[in-house]
Structure 1
Amino acid sequence: MKAHFRLDTHPVAAAANVVQGDCYRITVLDAGLVRLEYSETGEFEDRASQMVVNRAFPPCAFTLKEGGGPDGVIEISTERLHLTYDGGDFTTQGLSVQAKGGFHSRDSVWRFGMGLPNLGGTARTLDDVDGAIPLEGGVMAFDGIAMVDDSSSVLLTDDGWIAPRRPGTLDLYVFAYGHDFRRALEVLYTLTGPTPLLPRYALGNWWSRYHPYSADEYLSLMDRFRDNGIPFSVAVIDMDWHLVDIDPRYGSGWTGYTWNTELFPDPAGFLRELHDRGLATSLNVHPAEGVHAHEAAYPALAKRMAIEPDSGAPVPFDPTDPEFLEAYFEELHHPLEEQGVDFWWLDWQQGGVTRVPGLDPLWLLNHFHFLDSGRAGRRPLTFSRYAGIGSHRYPIGFSGDTCITWESLDFQPYFTATASNAGYGWWSHDIGGHFKGYKDDELATRWVQLGVFSPVNRLHSGLNPFNTKEPWRFGPHAQRVMTEFLRMRHQLLPYLATMNVRAHEGSPIVEPMYYEHPDEPAAYTVPNQFMFGTELLVAPITSPADRETGLGRVKAWLPQGMWVDVFTGTRYRGGRTLYLHRDLDSIPVLARAGAIVPMVPADEIGGGTNPTSRIELRVFAGSDGEFTLVEDHDDQRWARTPITYDDSSGQVTVHEVQGEASTVPDDRTYETVLVGGGGDGGHDVQADVFRILDRAQMGFELKGEAFEVVRNSASAADAVMALQALDVAPNLLGAVAELLLAH
């Protein structure tokens, strides 16, 4: 295999960490991580696997106690776990690991062959999903212990290729970190490799639609987006870029590598035009049907695979053949990349069976496509479905074809956040849903709002002339809000670029609330709420608005401290669970008091994603704060700019750039916007209550009485009690009480 296909691995564990017998090997990799191997032949595996690329952990302190006699019990203890093993076959009675740290002894024990409650991980795909589905496990559990089975994955060889496992072996990894979820994640990344840095363009808005565009139609659409002030940074072309209406003897038309020149008469010129508009480009591929004689690249590929081109015999898709795989890239993909393709969308899952036992073809393609994409020194990228723990090494994840329903939307925040428990941080969903379902302006708008605060914001829709996501295809209110949010995504690019680096260093951009607050029971009761980077708490609205108030609502839990709504400036006292209500113009996105969020000013938004000459610093009052802005041009020339905020003086200080100063534009200016200042967060609460009552679909007399109560009550609590006595509807009472009791 070519040198760029060889992943850097360190698979051999330190000898001091190993306890070995005739048929077992136990490796204490870390105080909370133990590898358990069983081999009938006594042969053990020191090669990397598709999941594990590093076992060269430093020597770990542990105590070993071995009982005498043939049935002697082995006990291994570290500061985080206690292992007990009878030395024979792995059995439920003979092998267990207990997590230390104050957990109930019955709940924190993993026994071989028995499952344990897990906080969940992610799933291979959401194809055809309408609501919730079961998730695979991650490495975190409320009871403090989790197990990952690596027994069936393939191995990576020193020359960059793959090999099957020896039969009759077990290879298990037990994570016993209690509620130290961040350490569990840190160790997972040490074991399986870091999350790569994304190219900056991947952080902006993506346009995707399954539709047979022509080049002129696609470029005209991009120009209309620009003229409407809607920025995009990635243009995805679905499968109709290639020939699909083909002779049935050549297959179904789903697989293809030859441009449809009736739609795209000048492919290189088309891609150049997209680049000129600041758009990176991805093409959709379904490789599984092989390469047939109608393809432009067929003669060259057939010769390389020792097939006579005049025979017309197809070149089978066999990714387990290294000669085919190299030819696949060099004859099919590289010429199209030379025309201007930036990365590939590997659609479909390519089946589940190959000639190599245990090999998932999806994983293999993800692995080699990602490595191949970085061969010319570019920041590598591929776009495909999830193929098990370790897949975070191959971003970005395509979650599949979901149904356009409220139930699908409601599942996605939880699904995205929980994926971090398996180390998988860069999901890209079909924002707005793919197919089936129904048109609903409110649903579409709420989905775009979630997308803006998702790892990747890719608008997409299926093959139906009525199913598309251009904002102007919806009503005026939805169009305005979608446009504002899509613009905000590009305003957030400086913040997102910094979080991209943080993700590479081990903290996914979307994290469940229990990462920071593992011992707060309430943190586990808001599965759809998450932290979006270090500064922002997001509680998306994923159900229809109440008819009477016109407001959507979501149950949220705010950690201790003061929190400031990014859109309204309303300040909320933390340390409690409450309902947050919003009209269609926003969703609850709250910043910690003292947070600093670097943004692109609204009048500077464009399709580009590089560091800009003006930065707007959104500063959220109520506490001192600091933030380090991290930037580069996808070239590793890092600039780090520390920024601090002193709440007592209101002073924001931008400190000297650390690192590569040339990355920051010479004429860079910083503009400060203070949010949430003043005793009431800068808001007239009575005016806000008036607006809620004014829009409510209810009797005028009751509106008047309710407003008089708010105006004349001695305290907010008195007002809430009086409104309750007026028999104000629960949703309306909740919305008014939220404002009255916010802080």
Structure 2
Amino acid sequence: MVDRNLFSLGTLGAHPAMDPDRIIQGDRWRIGVITESLIRFEWSDSGRFVDDATQSVLNRDFGPDAAPEFTVIERDGWLEIDTPSLHISYNQAPFSKEGLYATIKNVRAIDNTWHYGDDQMRNLGGTARTLDFANGRIPVGPGVNGTDGWAVIDDSASNIIRETPEVNGKANPFGTWVTPKPEPTTDFYLFAYGHRYREAVHDLYRLTGPTPLLPRFTLGNWWSRYHRYTEAEYMTLVERFEKEGIPFTTAVVDMDWHLVDDVDPKYGSGWTGYTWNKDFFPDPKRFMAWLHEQGMKITLNVHPKDGVRAFEERYPELAEAMGIDPKTEEAVQFDLTDPKFMEAYFDKLHHPMEDEGVDFWWLDWQQGGTTRQPGLDPLWGLNHLHYLDSARADGSDYAARNPRPLTFSRYAGPGSHRYPIGFSGDTVVNWESLKFQPEFTATASNIGYGWWSHDIGGHMFGYRDEELEARWYQFGAFSPINRLHSTDSPFNGKEPWNFHGDVAAAMTAALRLRHAMIPYLYTMNRRAAYEGEPLVQPLYWDWPEIRDAYKLVDEFRFGTELLVAPIVAPAEKSVQRAKADVWLPQGTWFDFFDGRRYASRPANGRRIEAWRGLDRIPVFAKAGAIVPLQEERAGEPLNSVANPQSLRVVAFPGASGSFTLWEDDGAPEASVRWASTALSLHLGETDGAATAATFTVAPVAGAADVVPETRDWTIVLRGVDASAVGDGGANVTVTSDGRTVAADVSYDAATLSAVVKISGVAATDGLTVTFVAGLPVAGDTVVEDAFAVLKDAQMLYLTKETAYAMVKELGKDALPALHTIEDLHGVDESREFDSHMPQPVIQALAEVLTRA
């Protein structure tokens, strides 16, 4: 039986009634001042208003810490409401443009006055239900941020959530149920936060409920393909991934796990199904147990629209539960509005398969938004009920394996972040689709939807372009969820070994990097759940008054430490590199991969073109950034997501910095036990002169037993001069718990990195690495990097040589002359090759010559 406690308003954390002291009310209108910037407006012809939770909104009383300052004056029939953030004027009549408006304060905007019914022309966007069939950019719904300083979320059409003992005269096993409002009302929220975008999203979470804490495994790599796998083929695939050293944490099995083509036409199509195809999977429990042994979780695709028909193995018991004689072979209709059906749907269909090994469900609802209940979207209902049911703690094998709830489905409107993870749908395989996904992902944070999972590599149609696939994998490594996917076409498999040379290497490197980033990603997972900070964020959240922060839509913040600018266009043949347009905020930045330094001195930051070969995309870390990664250890499972025994911490010089690594025991969020490890970089300075610098790993705090007793640490200071290490590591000392410990110290010239390796450090002792000569930033490697650009350039050798000589002699002062340079030692007489420098080569050299 379903656990009704899982569906209670208390479990949802709902406190839907507004504080009476913050309500201004007339006979048929009501205004709630939830915060100084968040206002609720209601109109009811009957004078009865909604104090229930709705599909989107759970909490309207933010408590005493959010008590807003406001005044209310009535003058000549007009109501004037004033807060520090806005001024509202209302004529106390039915809402109209002329009779209800608000002026937003403290914002630089032309149209900072909102009128009821205004189009949200300058809304910065939220997200969309799906990218199905998207061939590039599509429209998205509104978020809670706009450059005019206001945004509106309309909740008028939402159903309400109530404690409901009976539904349609029948006992309700769920306790709560989603029902239509007793009567229509107008009900919307004005977000008037100016350019305080982050604060607006924080209060959206307070209004609609927080993002849950994800299980750790979700942050690794997912394998997915619409393909008729057999058990043997899937196992061979997983073994090949392990042989190639490519980690995966999640096995997605698309719809062909169940009977499809073998369904008698009298029952309809095989699109919906709940019976394993035993020709493909003779022993499903064995198959799923084997995947678990490989360190993988498993999710199955389900299309529930056609209900349960007589060919299904579990039809007889489900029909009887619904009062249908199985002998009639009458189909059990899928009816999301019937609690009795939904109870049987879970208890008779899904729970048995979960106990056999299914860890969560891919709800692939594609059939519109209509149910028997007006206004109830079946997608939202499935997300809501499946997510809550997946939290069952009933002593079953399933509950023991999966202590945290999880589902995987499309977006169903504001509040959908409560039901992660999002499946963004079936995109077309082309550059246009890739180009839109970074923007689409970042913009979704404006509506609080932080855990999108895209079809990385593209799903269908389109064309084969190996460079495109590599760039998509690299974006996937820096996406919220990294799930590869494709159609069943024999030409569209996404296995890296199906691609050539450098492309396969780039794909494999991206997947390994993603798995290595799990410690960083899990810390950001905690930040998203507890602090309301999505992993991927638009630049303008932090720099709202700088124009370039809005224009560079492909670039985004990736957690607290990194800026990412995916490459979303093909390489230029002449330079054998592709570019991303990048904006660097004011400060010192380092290329995450090779440690090259970029200075951004103007207050408004700096635009650059970042040119990269196929091996990586532009990722930047600010001075003082610290990024913890996990390292593989011999003998450890490749796909492990356990709190790691070996950690590699990459830090960047130029400023002191700190980072707290968070790890836990994987328990349900309500009872989770946390361990924190403080990582800090301190640059000493005396009278302007650099002195000893330290990198410190503090003793673990909190639940120390959830992390390994001892750990191996690799501390990497990237972007530093070799003198930080000294001859044979003479300038580095390492201590733990006051004792000097042995360390392996080296310098990697390719990435300008000081590397310090220490083994067997007790988690309760901590660690201090001291660089006695400080951590001087590496000098600019202009000549070496210019040579690398010219080496790959497809152009006349003699022109290359002339350009290289010029760079060696003049450094960045050579840049103006590169635009007109010609080979003076023998121009190609046939003019088959232009002796001028190709413009892309000049642009790539310009990046090198102007970095610092």
Scaled by the length of structure 2, what TM-score is found? 0.85
Is it true that 1:380 corresponds to 2:416 in the alignment?
Answer: no
1:399-418 matched pairs, under 5 angstroms: 399-418=424-443
- Residue 196 of structure 1 is matched in structure 2 by 212
- Residue 638 of structure 1 is matched in structure 2 by 674
Selected match of 1:219 from 228, 235, 239: 235
Contact map agreement 1:286 1:350 (CA 8 A) in 2: no
Selected match of 1:478 from 466, 487, 503: 503
- Residue 692 of structure 1 is matched in structure 2 by 789
Aligned equivalents of 1:265 and 1:683: distance in 2?
61
SS at match of 1:668: strand
- Residue 750 of structure 2 is matched in structure 1 by none
CA shift for structure 1 position 602: 4.9
1:249-268 matched pairs, under 5 angstroms: 249-268=266-285
CA displacement 1:82-118 (0-9 Å, x = unmatched) = 11110001001001122110434x5112211111220
Aligned equivalents of 1:209 and 1:432: distance in 2?
11
- Residue 298 of structure 1 is matched in structure 2 by 315
CA displacement 1:573-606 (0-9 Å, x = unmatched) = 1220111000101100111111111111255682
- Residue 568 of structure 2 is matched in structure 1 by 542
Query: After the TM superposition, which of the residue ranges 253-262 and 673-682 deviates more from structure 2?
Result: 673-682
- Matched letter for residue 210 of structure 1: Y
Contact map agreement 2:107 2:195 (CA 8 A) in 1: no
CA displacement 1:335-365 (0-9 Å, x = unmatched) = 0000010000001334211111111110000
Aligned equivalents of 1:199 and 1:306: distance in 2?
38
Selected match of 1:16 from 14, 21, 26: 21
Selected match of 2:450 from 425, 432, 438: 425
Selected match of 2:361 from 344, 348, 352: 344
Aligned equivalents of 1:654 and 1:687: distance in 2?
34
Contact map agreement 2:587 2:599 (CA 8 A) in 1: yes
Is it true that 1:269 corresponds to 2:286 in the alignment?
Answer: yes
CA shift for structure 1 position 482: 0.7
Is it true that 1:590 corresponds to 2:620 in the alignment?
Answer: yes
Contact map agreement 2:38 2:189 (CA 8 A) in 1: yes
Aligned equivalents of 1:683 and 1:282: distance in 2?
49
Selected match of 2:704 from 641, 661, 669: 661
CA shift for structure 1 position 682: 6.1
1:214-253 matched pairs, under 5 angstroms: 214-245=230-261, 246-253=263-270
Gaps of 5+ in 2: 164-174, 394-398, 685-691, 722-775, 822-835
SS at match of 1:196: coil
- Matched letter for residue 644 of structure 1: S
- Residue 689 of structure 2 is matched in structure 1 by none
Aligned equivalents of 2:348 and 2:268: distance in 1?
20
- Residue 829 of structure 2 is matched in structure 1 by none
- Matched letter for residue 25 of structure 1: R
Aligned equivalents of 1:446 and 1:579: distance in 2?
17
- Residue 735 of structure 1 is matched in structure 2 by 844
Contact map agreement 1:32 1:80 (CA 8 A) in 2: yes
- Residue 113 of structure 1 is matched in structure 2 by 117
Contact map agreement 1:287 1:350 (CA 8 A) in 2: no
- Matched letter for residue 687 of structure 1: E
CA 1:510–1:128 in structure 2 vs 1: closer, same or farther (change >3 Å)?
same
Contact map agreement 1:569 1:682 (CA 8 A) in 2: no
Selected match of 2:52 from 42, 47, 51: 47
Is it true that 1:97 corresponds to 2:102 in the alignment?
Answer: yes
1:68-79 matched pairs, under 5 angstroms: 68=76, 72-79=77-84
SS at match of 2:288: helix
Aligned equivalents of 2:598 and 2:633: distance in 1?
30
CA displacement 1:178-197 (0-9 Å, x = unmatched) = 01111101100000000001
Aligned equivalents of 1:651 and 1:663: distance in 2?
27
Query: After the TM superposition, which of the residue ranges 686-695 and 384-393 deviates more from structure 2?
Result: 686-695
Aligned equivalents of 2:179 and 2:697: distance in 1?
53
Equivalent residues, number: 737
CA shift for structure 1 position 623: 0.9
- Residue 509 of structure 1 is matched in structure 2 by 535
SS at match of 1:288: coil
Selected match of 1:671 from 687, 690, 714: 714
CA shift for structure 1 position 388: 0.4
List, as ranges, runs of 4+ consecutive aligned residues in structure 1 with deviation greater than 4 Å: 602-605
Is it true that 1:355 corresponds to 2:372 in the alignment?
Answer: yes
CA 1:102–1:479 in structure 2 vs 1: closer, same or farther (change >3 Å)?
closer
Query: After the TM superposition, which of the residue ranges 72-81 and 278-287 deviates more from structure 2?
Result: 72-81
The percent identity for this pair of structures is 51
Contact map agreement 2:632 2:638 (CA 8 A) in 1: no
SS at match of 1:647: strand
CA 1:240–1:232 in structure 2 vs 1: closer, same or farther (change >3 Å)?
same
Selected match of 1:182 from 198, 206, 209: 198
Aligned equivalents of 2:218 and 2:555: distance in 1?
24
Aligned equivalents of 2:537 and 2:380: distance in 1?
25
Selected match of 1:552 from 578, 591, 596: 578
- Residue 725 of structure 2 is matched in structure 1 by none
Q: Which has the higher contact order (CA 8 A, sep 6+)?
A: 1
Contact map agreement 1:98 1:145 (CA 8 A) in 2: no
- Matched letter for residue 60 of structure 1: P
Q: Which has the larger radius of gyration?
A: 2
Aligned equivalents of 1:681 and 1:525: distance in 2?
31
Is it true that 1:210 corresponds to 2:219 in the alignment?
Answer: no
Aligned equivalents of 2:301 and 2:693: distance in 1?
50
CA shift for structure 1 position 525: 1.1
Aligned equivalents of 2:666 and 2:702: distance in 1?
15
- Residue 579 of structure 1 is matched in structure 2 by 609
Selected match of 1:163 from 152, 176, 179: 179
SS at match of 1:461: coil
CA displacement 1:529-582 (0-9 Å, x = unmatched) = 001100010000000000100110011100111111111211111220111000
1:277-316 matched pairs, under 5 angstroms: 277-316=294-333
- Matched letter for residue 572 of structure 1: Y
- Residue 416 of structure 2 is matched in structure 1 by 391
Aligned equivalents of 2:361 and 2:206: distance in 1?
28
Aligned equivalents of 2:236 and 2:441: distance in 1?
33
RMSD: 1.3
Is it true that 1:65 corresponds to 2:82 in the alignment?
Answer: no
Aligned equivalents of 2:252 and 2:314: distance in 1?
22
- Residue 487 of structure 1 is matched in structure 2 by 512
Contact map agreement 1:63 1:77 (CA 8 A) in 2: yes
SS at match of 1:287: coil
Aligned equivalents of 1:222 and 1:30: distance in 2?
52
Contact map agreement 2:632 2:646 (CA 8 A) in 1: no
Aligned equivalents of 1:309 and 1:591: distance in 2?
63
Is it true that 1:151 corresponds to 2:156 in the alignment?
Answer: yes
Query: After the TM superposition, which of the residue ranges 2-11 and 609-618 deviates more from structure 2?
Result: 2-11
SS at match of 2:103: strand
Selected match of 1:601 from 631, 647, 662: 631
